[in-house]
Amino acid sequence: MEIKGCGIDVVEIERIKEIINKNERFINRIFTSEEIAYCQGKKNKWEHFAVRFAAKEAVLKALENSKMNFKDIGIKNKKSGKPEVVLKGKREGRMLISLSHTHNYAVAQAIWVVDK
C-alpha cells in the first residue's frame, strides 16, 4: 500500500452553523441530498454538518488540488457506523477517513492510498 496524499481539517461548529443560517444556498452547494437528510435527522445536526465539511476539506487536501468540488465528495456511514468517502468519477486508490467532534470543534483526516 502506498500513501498518495494526506489531508486534515478542523472547523468551529458555531462558524458552520452561522454560515448555514445566514446563507441557505450554502448547504445545497456543499452537501449532497443524502448528507443533508442524515445531518437534519440528528439531534446535534450542526456537529454533523461541521464534521462532514471538515471531511470534504481534508479529502480535497489529500487529493492535492484536484479539480473536484464539494458535492463530488460524499461522506456516508457504513452500517457499522464507520464513515466512508464516496468520490464521483474514477480515481486510483481509495480514501481512508477519520472523523471526530466535540461540542465546539470538528476534525477530519483523510488519507489517499493505492494498493500495490
Q: Nearest 5°: phi and psi at 66?
A: -65, 160
Q: pTM of the prediction?
A: 0.94
Q: Please report the pLDDT score of residue 65 as a whole number.
A: 65
pLDDT in the model for residue 21: 94
pLDDT tens digits for range 24-69: 899 999 999 999 999 999 999 999 999 999 999 999 999 986 788 9
* Options 3.90.470.20, 3.40.50.2300, 3.40.1190.10, 3.40.50.10320; CATH of 2-114: 3.90.470.20
H runs (alpha helix) in 23-71? 24-30, 33-40, 45-62
Check whether 84 has a pLDDT greater than 90. yes
Query: What was the pLDDT predicted at 93?
Result: 87
The pLDDT of residue 8 is 98
Residue 2 reports pLDDT greater than 90: yes
What pLDDT does residue 67 have?
81
